[in-house]
Amino acid sequence: MIQSEMRRRAPNPAIPGTRRDRTGSTLLLRKAHAAINERWSRLTKDVVAAFDRIPVYALNDTGPQVAYGITPAILDIVLLEIAAALDRWVQNGKEPKELFWWNPFVEQSSQLGALQSVTNLSNLSVAFAASRSFDQVIRSEPYLTRVALARMKSYEHWTGLRAEGQSRLAGIIGRAVADGLNPKAVRTLIVEGLGVTRSKAAQYAQTDITDTLRQARWAEAEAAQSQFGLKIGMLWTSALLPTTRTTHATRNGRVYSTDEVRTFYGRDGNRYNCHCGQTECLLDVGGKPILTDGLMQKMKAELSTWESSRDADK
């Protein structure tokens, strides 16, 4: 019955977003980047304020060298304030009592992936639409377990970034004080050092949000197969950006199993900075994707255009 339903409707999957936003996560990514920019701006102010607590004695009014009135007690205070600032803006919430600040982004990306899957699968299958809802999915134990594991993974990353930031700042301030570097130059070095961690934070945000979203979709595809007997493949849609890796772009329009997709993302750093998406599509009894010729030709044309553009730039 399910197979006859698929043959009768011959539906195309609902691909979210646009060609430049295959995961449909642009708005969430913008929100995440805005949060990162705000947090790092406040972090920079706090770290510079901590550095300014060190007394400075100019050796001459016009020269670049100064003497710092550093003592073990002052150094301890400065380092403790920097550590507290990193805790506040990188690792935790603004206050100790608050939850980990990145948790909402983990939850929203997981929910977005689940919603995309439920909406798409409901359009593909009447049986699925009649039996499974988005609300049921996000209340299910497997879903809640996935979110908890994603939170742990993210917390580990931000904790590591916080430690890296503290090490970099301690090195910058320690060398500057020892060399008697002018405070204005030190503040510039502090801003540059924090800019490095901010760039890493932005890169991670893109990777984590899209990776969490994709994993939610894979899980829902597998649940639909096991619970409803649907034969499902994952239609690969590449963003085909100028920065898209060839190994990602050439998958555009091809259909893979969830295991094949997981294997791909588990090697060669493929999950990092990837804007590709995977959308559930139905398979016939022989395992062939049920997609219209129009959709397949469109995706072939997209890839051809991208390849031509790359050749022209060489």
Ranges of H-type helices in the chain: 2-9, 26-51, 72-86, 103-124, 126-131, 134-139, 141-179, 183-228, 246-249, 258-265, 293-313
Pairwise CA distance, residues 102 & 279, whole Å: 26
Pairwise CA distance, residues 78 & 271, whole Å: 38
Instruction: Pick the closest to residue 100 from 7, 179, 23, 35 (CA basis).
Output: 35
Phi-psi region of 280 (alpha: psi -120 to 50; beta: other; left: phi over 0): beta
The structure tokens 């403790």 sit at 80
Instruction: Pick the closest to residue 40 from 96, 97, 101 (CA basis).
Output: 101
Please report the pLDDT score of residue 6 as a whole number.
Answer: 45
In a 13 Å sphere around the CA of 278, the CA atoms on its Cβ side amount to 32
Radius of gyration, alpha carbons of the chain = 25
C-alpha distance from residue 210 to each of 58, 214, 215, 310 (Å): 51, 6, 9, 25
Residues 6+ positions from 212 with CB-CB distance below 8 Å = 106, 109, 110, 113, 150
pLDDT in tens, 162-206: 999 999 999 999 999 999 999 999 999 999 999 999 999 999 999
* Segments making up each domain of the chain, as ranges: 2-313
pLDDT in tens, 82-125: 999 999 999 876 555 557 899 999 999 999 999 999 999 999 99
- In this prediction, residue 20 has a pLDDT band, given cuts at 50, 70 and 90, of confident
The structure tokens 């304030």 sit at 81
C-alpha distance from residue 299 to each of 134, 249, 306 (Å): 29, 11, 11
Q: Is 272 helix (H, G, I), strand (E, B) or coil?
A: coil
For residue 256 the two structure tokens come to: 């893979």
pLDDT in tens, 250-292: 999 999 999 999 999 999 999 999 999 999 999 999 999 999 9
